[in-house]
Structure 1
Amino acid sequence: MKVFKSKLQLVVLFFAVLFTSCTYEPVDGTVETVPGGNTASGVFKADFSGNTWTAKETQAIISGNFIEIAAVNSKGESFGIVIEGSIAGTYAANVNIVAYTPAGTEYGYWAYNDNNPTENTGSVIITKIDTEKKTISGTFQFKGYWSDTDDPKPAIQFTNGVFKDIPYITQEETTDVFTAKVGSTNFVATDISTAEIDDFITIGALDANFNNLSIVIKNTLGTGSHTITNTLSGNVQGYYEDVNDEYKAISGSITITSKTADRIKGTFNFTTNGTPPFVITEGTFDVEY
């Protein structure tokens, strides 16, 4: 499995911005707000660099065949875990996503060694999923490698990691929609995440094979059609990532059909770079952000 590292990929959504402006709307019409308000929930802590790190806020999602757990402290530092699985058990860190991200950076310490991808860097143990109370508990430990290979830092050992009674929601409880075709194949999202990052609304999804499809929209844009250009300064952009690499849209458009203070709806299509390119068609989104 490829570890996702760039700023616009879903790991950033799961970890660093899960606590900013994301909400999940259950089928019954009530709104569950993820941490970011005044209510702390569950326990999440770990030891590293001679200190014990303790979360101020936590959040977990169980959807499809994925478990996601995120925690942030008062300084904006965060831990994130994404596991390919949905039941209690032991999961290897290097073939899933386990990371610590310092405040103010898109990079972090990941349980993945670029120079030795098969290295046993640690594990996450899900000890209990309480389906009545809707909480998840477990332990973790890992050796974290700095993800910015252009600015290497020594690896850090994270020990005594514990998460206990973290409330979780399921993706089925949301009314968010994100669909598309990749070539002639339907992209079936098992997880949808949205957030505002640096004046952009980022909407992305994973499928069951960890393929990642995402779009980025300048938050000041209104309804109408907006052209994707092959430049760094565009107001809209699209990305697709498979096991081999991440591909950027070089042409296409995103159309916003309706937008409120907390929800955006529209369509998209684009063609990526790469040989051969990926052609994304029939894209639709209707999400809370």
Structure 2
Amino acid sequence: MKKITFLSIFTVLFAAFSFVSCDNEPIDPTLLQQVNNNNGNNGGGGNGGNQTNAVFKVDFGGQTWIANSTEAAMLPNSIQIAGLKTTNGQTFGFALNGNTVGTYDSTSNLIAYDPNNNSNGDVYWAVNPTNPSVSAGTVTITNIDTVNKKISGTFSFTGYWSDLSVSNIPPISFTNGIFTNIPYTIGTSTPTDFFSAKVDGTEFIEDQIDVTEVTGSGYPPSYSIVGSKTNNDTVGLRFSKTLGVGNYNFNGPFNQDLTATCTANGVLYNSDTGALTITEKTATRIKGTFSLVVKNPTTLQTKTITQGSFDVELP
């Protein structure tokens, strides 16, 4: 009954160009089919008639990188764009939380460069590991041609190597990025799990979301939603499966219907006070917001969790 969602759309975007299909991918299947049918289309294959004037290029390392294959998808709430060099699999991928003209910042959108079609998912991405809440770049959509279904824009970002266990790889500055007249497909998207919160004012950027059913002595059957990082920091909620749309209060660490935990630097904190609001609940999904104070039972030190929100598939 356990559902785990890894929040790395970069792998999905790059896998699309490698013709890989995985379960629960947020990328639109129509885009994947377009890539299969249209690889190398700037040379005139597939739908090359729409691609002959498509341009995707960016400067870095003293040179101008130019894609020879491009794809984009316009989804109900997002835009996905990728540029590929088919000779070596080098790929730029953007997943933007919106579908209108405007500037999309790296702090809330996914921007990355895969230098060698990494099978392990390591990329240069626009997230500074020492200060992830500070912008590392932007993508600006300057034009969406809804008649001819083409999209144009600009981008620039500093890419940091995503494998934090490696410390000797310097970041790369990507400048003067341009994509022009990239044909896009229109598709539907499968809802993906979302979890967000701030701990003592700092954005909690999770690497994984776990949604499970849990049972325990003295507690009713419950749902557990946990956002976790690779360093084992966590923010988690447990609430009775019977709770429906409405407002509920945290009341200490032993409340039967509603508790929460936070782990930071190996120290466990339990729920003390706060509130949970369930805004939507169906047979398959649940959505809500939360804020609370958590307390360590030994030291009595506290942490404040604010701007909590989730939208997840139920197990």
Alignment check: 8 A CA contact 2:56 2:179 kept: yes
> Would you say 1:110 and 2:125 are equivalent positions?
yes
Alignment deviations for residues 249-275 of structure 1 (CA, whole Å, 9 cap, x no partner): 899xxxxxxxxxxxxxxxxxxx99886
Q: How does 1:270-281 map to 2 (within 5 A)?
A: none
Task: Select the residue among 179, 191, 196 that pairs with 1:163.
Answer: 179
> Could you say which residue in structure 1 is the equivalent of 2:113?
100
Alignment deviations for residues 123-181 of structure 1 (CA, whole Å, 9 cap, x no partner): 11111000000000000011111110001311110001010111111224xxxxxxxxx
Q: TM-score, normalised by structure 1?
A: 0.57
Segments of 5+ residues of structure 1 without an aligned counterpart are 173-190, 193-204, 212-241, 252-270, 284-289
> Could you say which residue in structure 1 is the equivalent of 2:34?
33
Distance 1:145 1:69, change over 3 A: same
CA distance in 2 between counterparts of 1:89 and 1:67 reads 12
Segments of 5+ residues of structure 2 without an aligned counterpart are 22-27, 43-50, 196-203, 214-223, 228-235, 242-282, 286-315
CA distance in 2 between counterparts of 1:93 and 1:38 reads 29
CA distance in 2 between counterparts of 1:245 and 1:24 reads 24
More helix by share: 2
Alignment check: 8 A CA contact 2:141 2:154 kept: yes
> Would you say 1:86 and 2:99 are equivalent positions?
yes
> Could you say which residue in structure 2 is the equivalent of 1:206?
192
> Would you say 1:20 and 2:19 are equivalent positions?
yes
For these two proteins, the number of residue pairs brought into alignment is 196
CA distance in 2 between counterparts of 1:112 and 1:18 reads 23
CA distance in 2 between counterparts of 1:273 and 1:85 reads 26
Q: TM-score, normalised by structure 2?
A: 0.52
> Could you say which residue in structure 2 is the equivalent of 1:177?
none
- Cα RMSD of the aligned pairs, angstroms, is 3.6
The offset of 1:12, in angstroms, is 0.9
CA distance in 2 between counterparts of 1:53 and 1:104 reads 16
CA distance in 2 between counterparts of 1:147 and 1:127 reads 28
CA distance in 2 between counterparts of 1:48 and 1:125 reads 18
> Could you say which residue in structure 2 is the equivalent of 1:135?
150
CA distance in 1 between counterparts of 2:211 and 2:103 reads 37
> Could you say which residue in structure 2 is the equivalent of 1:71?
83
Task: Select the residue among 136, 140, 147 that pairs with 1:121.
Answer: 136
The offset of 1:282, in angstroms, is 5.9
> Could you say which residue in structure 2 is the equivalent of 1:262?
none
> Could you say which residue in structure 2 is the equivalent of 1:50?
62
> Could you say which residue in structure 2 is the equivalent of 1:287?
none
Alignment check: 8 A CA contact 2:58 2:174 kept: yes
> Could you say which residue in structure 1 is the equivalent of 2:166?
151
The offset of 1:49, in angstroms, is 0.9
Residue aligned with 2:12, SS: helix
Work out which of the two has the higher radius of gyration on C-alpha atoms and give 1 or 2: 2
Q: Percent identity?
A: 36
Distance 1:277 1:79, change over 3 A: farther
> Could you say which residue in structure 1 is the equivalent of 2:218?
none
Alignment check: 8 A CA contact 2:9 2:95 kept: no
